[in-house]
């Protein structure tokens, strides 16, 4: 039973997760992080899943990051579990094998942006701002921000954001490849539905294998990356969905993928 996460499992293999602390701009409290970790662990290997969408309640923020009010009452020597909880939750989120999308209904800072960085795709609402603002708070990103952001947008742009704690506009975030799309609020749901329709034409096993390949290959040299790609490819080769894909193409119809 989740108190701070609203979880909606749909029959079509889609799970909608909502960070549900709008009064605190969906800040990541200890309790919320523990729920996020448990849910991530539950979803990680679920082979029936096609898509996990994470969004925030309200229209102000996707997430304002670590719960700074909760942290204020914690001494330096007691911070460890708090920092670990947010880092573990976000890292666990990155381990989900199905496609993950951050549907960013508002601004995201600190851990809120780090959570979005742990997703495969980010769709951001117009007018929102993003930032890893930790250096302005006397700390630094500690839930993957310094690791994932440079990989996504390059060292120079990442340093500009991280070392200056700069807040950037949605438009700028799109221009530097930090988010995949920026859409008006009234089009957020439609954007997600259209992505879902697109995903319906993709074989689930192929999506997972390709995701694994991209992620693992990013961490190694080209030769090793090609070996990893070959291994991931192999997992699709003897699947029912490969036969279905080829048959549907030959018959000029839409494929019906089973995920097997
Ligand atoms: N932790 C705990 N509470 C937070 C919070 C956080 N990270 N961010 C916002 N809140 C709380 C505010 O204290 C306020 O509480 P109150 O109503 O009891 O006073 C409430 O959420 C609303 O915040 P407010 O700033 O009035 O909302 P807003 O819509 O005008 O602005 C933000 C939203 C996210 C732009 C702004 O709150 C903000 O910049 N937050 C800090 C983000 C940040 O730097 N995070 C880094 C974490 S490492």
Q: Give the residue numbers marked as catalytic.
A: 114, 134
Going from the Cα of 64 to the center of ligand 1, the distance in angstroms, rounded, reads 6
pLDDT given for residue 176 in this prediction: 98
Going from the Cα of 1 to the center of ligand 1, the distance in angstroms, rounded, reads 26
pLDDT given for residue 72 in this prediction: 87
Closest CA to 19 of 93, 77, 74: 93
Going from the Cα of 138 to the center of ligand 1, the distance in angstroms, rounded, reads 17
Q: Could you state, in chain order, the average pLDDT of each consecutive group of 10 residues for the chain (260 residues)?
A: 92 96 98 98 94 97 96 88 95 97 98 98 98 97 98 98 98 98 97 94 96 97 98 95 95 92
Pocket test for ligand 1, best of 20, 23, 25 (most atoms within 8 A of CB): 25
pLDDT given for residue 2 in this prediction: 83
pTM over 0.85: yes
């Amino acid at each position: 039973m989740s108190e701070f996460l609203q979880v909606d499992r749909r029959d079509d293999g889609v799970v909608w997760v909502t960070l549900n602390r709008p009064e605190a701009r969906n800040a990541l409290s200890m309790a919320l992080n523990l729920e996020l970790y448990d849910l991530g662990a539950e979803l990680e290997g679920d082979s029936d899943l096609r898509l996990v969408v994470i969004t925030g309640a309200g229209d102000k923020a996707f997430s304002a990051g670590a719960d700074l009010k909760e942290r204020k009452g914690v001494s330096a020597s007691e911070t460890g579990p708090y920092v670990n909880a947010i880092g573990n939750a976000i890292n666990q989120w990155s381990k989900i094998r199905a496609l993950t999308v951050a549907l960013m209904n508002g601004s995201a800072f600190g851990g809120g942006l780090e959570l979005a960085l742990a997703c495969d795709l980010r769709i951001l609402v117009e007018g929102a701002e993003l930032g890893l603002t930790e250096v302005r708070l006397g700390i630094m990103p500690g839930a993957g921000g310094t690791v994932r952001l440079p990989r996504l947008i390059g060292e120079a742009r990442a340093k500009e954001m991280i070392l200056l704690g700069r807040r950037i506009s949605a438009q700028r975030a799109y221009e530097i490849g930090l988010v995949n799309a920026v859409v008006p609020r009234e089009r957020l749901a439609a954007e997600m539905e259209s992505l879902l329709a697109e995903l319906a034409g993709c074989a689930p096993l192929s999506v997972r294998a390709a995701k694994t390949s991209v992620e693992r290959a990013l961490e190694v040299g080209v030769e090793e990356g090609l070996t990893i790609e070959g291994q991931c490819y192999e997992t699709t080769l003897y699947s029912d969905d490969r036969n279905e894909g080829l048959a549907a193409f030959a018959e000029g119809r839409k494929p019906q993928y089973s995920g097997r």
